[in-house]
């Protein structure tokens, strides 16, 4: 449940807080920090703006039980 993710996890920053422009496409490839495999992403909006589309690309890796 989302409550478990919010309370029990330590989130690792993948992309530093970044100022964005309205009505503009933003691409972040070189700015992404290498943190290894992740299962969830948290997207914070400051102060309380809206987002019409968020696309996150990655590669699915089979869980080997480790």
Q: What pLDDT does residue 8 have?
A: 62
Mean pLDDT of 13-17: 89
Residue whose pair of structure tokens reads 């920053």 in the numeric block: 13
SS (H, E, C) the chain: CHHHHHHHCCCCCCCCCCCCCCCCCCCCCCCCCCCCCCCCCCCCCCCCCCCCCCCCCCCCCCCCCC
Q: What is the pLDDT of residues 29-56, one digit of tens each?
A: 899 898 888 888 888 887 766 778 888 8
- The percent of residues above 70 in pLDDT, for the chain, comes to 88
């Amino acid at each position: 449940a989302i409550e478990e993710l919010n309370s029990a996890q330590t989130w690792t920053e993948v992309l530093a807080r970044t100022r964005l422009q309205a009505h503009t496409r933003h691409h972040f490839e070189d700015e992404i920090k290498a943190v290894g495999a992740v299962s969830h992403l948290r997207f914070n909006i400051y102060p309380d703006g809206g987002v019409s589309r968020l696309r996150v690309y990655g590669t699915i890796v089979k869980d080997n039980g480790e």
